[in-house]
Amino acid sequence: MHKTVTKLADGRELVYYDAEPTARDAVDRRPLEPAASVSEVRVDPFSGDAVTIAAHRQSRTYHPPADECPLCPSREGRLSEIPAADYQVAVFENRFPSLADSSAEHVAPWADGPYALTPGTGRCEVVCFTSDHAASFADLDEPRARLVLDAWTDRTAELYARPGVRQVYCFENRGAEIGVTLGHPHGQVYAFPFTTPRTALALERAAAHLAATGRNLYDDVLAAERATTGKPDSRVVLAGEHWTAFVPFAARWPYEVHLYPNRRVADLTGLDGAARDEFPRIYLDLLRRFDRLFPGPAPYIAAWHQAPRPASAELALHLELFTLRRTADKLKYLAGTESGMGAFMNDVRPEAAARTLREL
């Protein structure tokens, strides 16, 4: 992997990732003002969850026409966030971030009775998987998917080294049904100044399991799923030498798959060479199965769960992939029970979902 770091016109960082050394000297010629964002992190007094307030994001770019896509390479007459005429993988600071270190200059920590507020520091990055606007991650070949994995790993290492970062989250939203506002194939990386609520709860459950059994919860879940491989009611979708993909026992979404490395690590930086080499084949196979679920491309979220800092040996790196679609013409809405009570209701039996994905 070859990495080139440069700056955009407003001072935001742009990083190119190439499989081979490549000259990246294109200059951003847009007349942009210096970037500055202000956000707050407020704590819910009942759940303890951190909620980020970022009012400036109301004006972010929203469904531009394809010929005005800000993630396509720049060309004469249309300058984008990527000054180069072409690229392999590109990562840049979001122009409309939910979290930014500049928030510390404008927001002072504050507490009053049951309420507490801190600056929304951190970093939000956009990861462009390819310069091809019409492609998707599933269209990538294995070397390009490996380059994206290397970029995710590099961003994880670099962002965890920044002061105040508690958790690094790499993810992809695909499809208008998910809420994607830019159609170009891309994902994001968030560097949070707090441990996210989902991770905090998972750590509590893992600690309770360790206290009760003396074993790691993630190891036990993976072992239980792998033990069913080949059985009629198995939830395993794909099993490689270094990765296992399975539908979770208590799946919340109609089609949901968790992808675990067979050797437990805390985050992407802990993967060894063999796991990195196998990942593109397994992950691309999984995405292509999702795209065969319905007549059109499946809208999905792909979310890397990584251990927060200070590092916890109990939380294992894994990827959670799910679609909001339950049939070709029906979405799984987060309605009254899910949104109001956090109590998920799933219309598809996990074992049936796994069988469908295996057969595609």
Q: Give the active site residues.
A: 186
Q: Which two tokens stand for residue 64?
A: 């531009």
Write down the residue that tokens 């490689």 correspond to. 240
Q: What's the rounded Cα separation, in Å, for the pair 343 and 337? A: 5
Q: What are phi and psi of 178, to 5 degrees?
A: -75, -25
Q: What's the rounded Cα separation, in Å, for the pair 235 and 250? A: 11
Q: Which of 320, 303, 317, 316 is nearest to 256 (CA)?
A: 320
Report helix, strand and coil shares of the chain as percent, to nearest 5.
30, 25, 45
Q: Are 128 and 184 in contact (CB under 8 A)?
A: yes
Q: Are 182 and 38 in contact (CB under 8 A)?
A: no
Count of beta carbons in the 10 Å neighbourhood of residue 27: 12
Q: What's the rounded Cα separation, in Å, for the pair 90 and 98? A: 20
Count of beta carbons in the 10 Å neighbourhood of residue 125: 24
Please give the helix or strand (H or E) that residue 356 lies within, else none. Answer: helix 350-359
Pairing between β-strand 167-174 and β-strand 186-192 as defined by DSSP bridges: antiparallel
Q: Which ranges in 15-95 belong to alpha helices (H)?
A: none
